[in-house]
Amino acid sequence: MKIKYILFVLILSSFFTRCDLDYYPYDNIEQSQSFQSVGDIGTLVNGSYALLRGVSYGRYTVAPDLQTDLFNATSSYGNNYGIVHAWTELLATTYDIEYPWSGYYNLIANLNNVIQNHTLVTPSEEEVTAYNTYVGEAYFIRAYAYAHLINLYAKAYKSSTASTDLGVPLNLKYDIEEKLPRSTIKEVYDQIFADLGEAESKWKDIDFSKVATYKDSPSRFTKDAITALKARLYLNLEEWNNAITEAEKIITSGSYPLVTTKEALKTLWGSDKGTEIITHLVIDGSKEAPNTNAVYLNGYSSTDATYIPLYIPGKKVYELYHNDDFRKEVYFANHTLKLASGNFKNIYSLNKYPLTKEFSSTGNLLHSPILFRTAELYLIVAEAGARGTQSDLALTRLNDLRKARGLPALTGLSGDALFEEVKDERVRELLAEGTRLTDLKRWGLGFTRSEPQDESAVVKRYVDLTVEPGDDKFVWGIPSYDLNLNPNLVQNQGW
């Protein structure tokens, strides 16, 4: 297959998956002419943001959470995510396993074109800032994509084996014919940090306080996003002090304070507005809608005000929230549910991504994907401090978050007892944000799925599930299609 053109206007990544194209439409730039100006680079980077919307929310965050212990499939689930939820039936041909691999690598391919060819441009003095901004964004988004790939398709990082454990292929140039082997986990993390270093270099003289905003928070990545991603990465690497250092930079800056009222928390998730959002993505509900996390509410009938959720929180998940916790009322709702097995009025559905008129006069489930926010950084400090040598700071940051959500401070905790509270707090705060599978893998834990709120509302065969620590399915399989196409790839154990 010969690719003659580079996409000028990019559509969602699913449209690019496994296509054999010799030609692209008229609204594309021929590769030999693509970098005639800084504006051409900007067009391709803007297109990468469009692709990024396609790999944010939806399957990319829903599937990893539904695979774990937090949710139960309702009688109306229609086998949506059924194989992932069942756990034991997972195969390397499972759509929900294959789909993110293709989506992230399609995004990386577009970014590689910018990174590989950006030196063809000699910007004028007036264009230097825009040029550096765009190229830095390309490096950052590639690092972000690889960070997600390594989370899903490789083991948790262990310093003793990272140099031999298989990660994912490092595709660093625009060459669709190249058949790369899997790099080691260490090599992938090294590349992620190298890309972040390139972004920092390009952005060092840029004042991001002047970057255009969308609603109340930045809609493009900035230096603060680098800091937030580094904190997340260092937590995965079990470099506790580095994780704390990066997270504390943003916490102590005061630039993104935690919201502290129920109303503000409702606005954060209902309208995607809030002081603690570091980065979320621009969406236009009529043109460039992202994936949605609609499975948690699904269909809505205005006639009788009922919902038909495909998955509902387990009983233990709901009970993890104290009545004084603002999140209990914001994250959950006691809607009337119209399910295949009957109508239910006393079951709580997840309302973290509620029906909103923000992007439609008639209402829909579209939300601007929130990629970084300060609450996660408080949890990073709490976990890193509890597992490292800074228990006092860990407890302080855990209590800061608890108090911001209406809960009293905890006292006298350290070591394992503190770590247990941190793990519960990550569930309370980050529920349905796609972090649970990675958390369990990082902690080396198995799970028993939560009992349902009402057995008659759910699919019973999925309830009695216990998964042992280190189960092979915590690491997703390399898609079979790619294994057949690329003989240099090696499959993960158990797939």
What are the per-10-residue average pLDDT scores of the chain (495 residues)?
Answer: 33 33 35 70 93 94 98 97 96 96 96 87 82 95 98 98 98 90 98 98 89 66 97 98 98 97 97 94 77 92 90 98 98 95 94 89 88 98 98 98 98 97 98 98 97 97 96 98 96 97
Q: Is residue 263 part of a domain?
A: yes
The reported pLDDT for the residue numbered 210 is 73
Q: Is residue 373 part of a domain?
A: yes
Q: Is residue 463 part of a domain?
A: yes
The reported pLDDT for the residue numbered 358 is 80
User: For the purposes of burial, counting CB atoms within 10 Å of the CB of 325, is it exposed (0-12), middle (13-18) or buried (19 or more)?
Assistant: middle
Longest dimension (CA), the chain: 68
State the total domains in the chain: 1
The reported pLDDT for the residue numbered 120 is 64
User: For the purposes of burial, counting CB atoms within 10 Å of the CB of 80, is it exposed (0-12), middle (13-18) or buried (19 or more)?
Assistant: middle
d(CA 74, CA 88): 19
Determine the structural domain holding residue 202 and report its residue range. 5-287+368-483
Beta strands 29-30; 311-313: pairing state: unpaired
- Confirm if 445 and 73 have CB atoms less than 8 A apart: no
What are 361's two structure tokens? Answer: 């006069």
> What are the residues whose beta carbons fall under 8 Å from the beta carbon of 287, sequence distance 6 or more?
none
d(CA 239, CA 440): 18
> What are the residues whose beta carbons fall under 8 Å from the beta carbon of 396, sequence distance 6 or more?
none
**Which one, of 374, 422, 418, lies nearest residue 249 by Cα?**
374
User: For the purposes of burial, counting CB atoms within 10 Å of the CB of 205, is it exposed (0-12), middle (13-18) or buried (19 or more)?
Assistant: exposed
**Cα angle for residues 294, 299, 301 (degrees, 5° grid):** 145
d(CA 78, CA 311): 10
d(CA 378, CA 396): 9
d(CA 194, CA 470): 30
Q: Is residue 380 part of a domain?
A: yes
Three-state SS for 34?
Answer: coil
Q: Is residue 301 part of a domain?
A: no
Beta bridge pairs of residue 90: none
Provide the 8-state DSSP code for 323. Answer: T
The separation between CA 449 and the C-alpha centre of its own chain, rounded to angstroms, equals 22
Helices marked H in 161-313 — which ranges? 185-203, 223-236, 240-253, 262-270
**Which one, of 386, 373, 138, 410, lies nearest residue 259 by Cα?**
373
> What are the residues whose beta carbons fall under 8 Å from the beta carbon of 273, sequence distance 6 or more?
215, 216, 217, 267
- Confirm if 7 and 25 have CB atoms less than 8 A apart: no
**Which one, of 181, 129, 192, 132, lies nearest residue 157 by Cα?**
192
Three-state SS for 1?
Answer: coil
Beta strands 342-344; 349-350: pairing state: unpaired
The reported pLDDT for the residue numbered 211 is 66
Tokens 């509890």 -> residue: 386
What are 333's two structure tokens? Answer: 């709702």
Q: Is residue 495 part of a domain?
A: no
d(CA 195, CA 189): 10
Q: Any idea what the CATH number is for the domain that residue 245 is in?
A: 1.25.40.390
d(CA 405, CA 378): 13
Q: Is residue 219 part of a domain?
A: yes
What are 39's two structure tokens? Answer: 């504006």
Q: Is residue 339 part of a domain?
A: no
- What would the DSSP string read from start to end of 344-380? ESS-PEE-SS--BSSS-TT-B-----EEEEHHHHHHH
